[in-house]
Amino acid sequence: MTEPVNGSATAPVLEVRGLTKAFGALVASRDISLDLRPGEIHALIGPNGAGKSTLIAQIAGELAPDRGEIWLGGRQVTGWSTAARARAGLARTFQISSLAMEMTVLQNAVLGALGARGKVMRFFAPVLGDRALVERAMAALEAVGLQDLAALRTAELSHGQRRQLEVAVALTLAPRAFLMDEPMAGLGASGSRRLMSFLDGLRERAPILLIEHDMDAVFALADRISVLVNGEVIATGSAARIRGDARVQEAYLGEEAEAMPGEEACAGAGGEGRGEAAP
Amino acid sequence: MGVRRETMVNTLLLAGLLAVPLWALWADEPFTITLATRVAILALAGVGLNLALGTGGLVSFGHAVFFGIGGYAMGILAFHAQNYTPLIESLSIPGTKSMPVIWAVAVIASALVALAIGALSLRTSGVYFIMITLAFGQMFYYFTISWPAYGGEDGMSIYLRNSFPGVNTLVPFNFFAISFAALLAVLVLVGRLMRAPFGLALSAARQNEARLRAVGIDPYRLRLTAFTLSGAITGLAGALYADLNRFVSPSMFSWQTSGEIMIFVILGGVGRLFGPVAGAALFILLEHFLGGISEYWHIFLGVLLLGVVLFARGGLIGLLAGREVAHD
């Protein structure tokens, strides 16, 4: 197993313990335990319907688990609201870009900086006159390469640029941990490559729990990979170990065992990627 | 430049609203001054609703509550003052004819009621929110109808317009000036608020609630604050409106009143700062001119409203100034 460079003796930033969630007879999360350690990218993969979205929703605080605990930065946050978890340092990006479309690119980033600082109940001074907020927002936009589009309405951004903005907003939060739900979805080859190299460096700032269909990206980036099948984590380990795991081969890479994982991923990502949420 | 153009439209609108009564003063047309005063006051009520509806996305169908509370704050205080009866007997607190005091009472009372109504109804959204706010409006409506102390169904009249320090409020133009100044002051405040951190976050709550939560901001408190401020502004408008007519009645609480305030906002441009000013002006113009032609002028209003909703979502301001440009 690849240990993160600086993570030899550090406690996990984000930890999921024995998480269980059922919708009627369908068990979407079955006693899931996983952790995210400082400096790593931990990828979560699994076929459609494996329960990835349900798991993310529980980690982000949109869905309450039936059993189990979620710990963030040494505190149990299981009962906390989404907003409280964000304030505690969990920055998520959405599978489908979730931005304030009528605002400018800069305003979206400033909103993130504002959320990170708190003190929202300010009624008089213009928010865009607040240099500290704007600088923080611009720094995040520069990090993803959107600084030249700061004045553009978000609705006018291309799909790929929206994905970049999602990441930029997450950056403004200066989080303890990133929760990224398919950040590559819908990106072209060059866009994916750029984002990959960006995420590669990002793990130094805060670890990333990465849900991704793009297997090339996952196997290239991830320090550890967890495989979710039918609501259960069937394996966790380094890329090499996951590739060689017989259960993973059988359950996930299955019928195309001889093919490269990346090709299978393309088929998966292009198809129905949103179906594994709550029924 | 879009920003410049909207600023220009807004300035022209205000200039027009000021020029008409000035002309009427010169031409000795007091009725026209009264019309302009109505526009200023109804615009103020609309600016209040627009903060909740336009910026916050809270479709309140109960803003007549605050309009009515403002009206009854004026009516009750002035009623006791003109009859020399104490407002609260045990404490021998008298009524008052002073506008600033009446406004303060109207604003505080409507803010408190908005806080209470908001705290309950903001737990719902969409159609349920509309229905709950409507229900509160009807509650107040029927309550005032069945409350005999202050005129019940007939409402009550105030003999003399209330007073403002240093101004003879009986002169129609003076009362217009007071109402216009109140509108201006509120426009400035709300304009600042929309650009402030609060406004950005409130607008985000309307556009994408999940995004707001994901950056660690809870929308509930923002919305409740917006709803409370919104109610307070509409309450102030209610106090002025009652003073203009020197009359309050339960009809101020009726759902038609809520609907009309909403019409000002929609006609003028939802979420645009000056939308309600344009909307109220257009409404009064239509009422005056079409109302002269036919008493069924609401049919034309309906057609116009339909046209705006279908073809010109930005309302009158949107037509004149183009799409909203992000604040800088």
B326 lies in some domain: no
> What pLDDT is attached to residue B16?
96
Task: Tell me the average pLDDT of chain A.
Answer: 86
In the structure encoding, which two tokens stand for residue B271, read together?
């979420």
β-bridge mates for residue B41, sequence order:
none
Query: How far does the CA of residue A13 sit from the closest CA of chain B (Å)?
Result: 18
Counted across chains A and B, CB pairs separated by less than 8 A come out at: 112
By CB atoms closer than 10 A (0-12, 13-18, 19+), residue B287 is middle
Task: Look at A94 and B210 and tell me if their CB atoms are within 8 Å.
Answer: yes
Contacts of A87 in chain B (CB under 8 A): 216
> What pLDDT is attached to residue A267?
41
Domain residues for B251?
2-321
List b or e across B102-137, with b for residues whose CB sees 16 or more CB atoms inside 10 angstroms. bbebbbebbbebbbebbeebbeeeeeebbebbbebb
Q: Any idea which architecture A10-89+175-279 has in CATH?
A: 3-Layer(aba) Sandwich (3.40)
Rounded to 5°, the CA angle A224-A225-A230 comes to 155
B328 lies in some domain: no
pLDDT at A275 over 60: no
> What pLDDT is attached to residue A165?
95
Query: How far does the CA of residue A121 sit from the closest CA of chain B (Å)?
Result: 5
B136 lies in some domain: yes
> What pLDDT is attached to residue A213?
83
**Sorting pLDDT into bands at 50, 70 and 90, what band is A264?**
very low
Task: Look at A94 and B200 and tell me if their CB atoms are within 8 Å.
Answer: no
B258 lies in some domain: yes
B174 lies in some domain: yes
B170 lies in some domain: yes
From A248, A186, A257, A191, select the one nearest A43 (Cα to Cα).
A248
**For residues A116-122, average pLDDT:** 92
Q: CB-based contact (8 Å) between B123 and chain A?
A: no
Contacts of A111 in chain B (CB under 8 A): 200-201, 204, 211-212, 215, 217
Residues 6+ apart with CB under 8 A from A254: none
Using CB atoms, pick whichever of B195, B201, B211 lies closest to residue A120. Answer: B201
Q: Which residue on chain B is closest to A174 by alpha carbon?
A: B215
In the structure encoding, which two tokens stand for residue B225, read together?
């604050």
Contacts of A112 in chain B (CB under 8 A): 215
Query: How far does the CA of residue B221 sit from the closest CA of chain A (Å)?
Result: 9
Over residues B173-188, the pLDDT tens digits come to 999 999 999 999 999 9
Residue A124 gets which letter from DSSP? Answer: S
**Residue ranges matching CATH 3.40.50.300 in chain A:** 10-89+175-279
pTM to 2 decimal places: 0.90
> What pLDDT is attached to residue A32?
95
B327 lies in some domain: no
CATH number at residue B23: 1.10.3470
Q: CB-based contact (8 Å) between B197 and chain A?
A: yes
> What pLDDT is attached to residue A185?
85
B301 lies in some domain: yes
Query: How far does the CA of residue A223 sit from the closest CA of chain B (Å)?
Result: 26
Identify whether the C-beta of residue A92 lies closer than 8 Å to the C-beta of residue B292.
no
Query: How far does the CA of residue B125 sit from the closest CA of chain A (Å)?
Result: 17
Q: For chain B, which residues score pLDDT lower than 50?
A: 1, 328
Number of continuous H segments (helices) and E segments (strands) in chain B? 13, 4
Contacts of A81 in chain B (CB under 8 A): 213, 218
Using CB atoms, pick whichever of A92, A103, A126 lies closest to residue B196. Answer: A126
Contacts of A125 in chain B (CB under 8 A): 196-197
pLDDT at A279 over 70: no
Residues of A with CB under 8 A from a CB of B: 60, 81-84, 86-87, 91-92, 94, 98-104, 107-108, 110-112, 114-116, 118-128, 130, 151, 153, 169, 172-173
> What pLDDT is attached to residue B203?
96
Identify whether the C-beta of residue B78 lies closer than 8 Å to the C-beta of residue B162.
yes
Contacts of A107 in chain B (CB under 8 A): 200, 326
In the structure encoding, which two tokens stand for residue B283, read together?
């409404």
Identify whether the C-beta of residue B304 lies closer than 8 Å to the C-beta of residue B314.
no
ipTM of the complex: 0.90
Number of domains making up chain B? 1
Over residues A201-259, the pLDDT tens digits come to 999 999 999 998 888 889 999 999 999 998 999 999 998 898 888 888 877 665 444 44
pLDDT at A68 over 80: yes
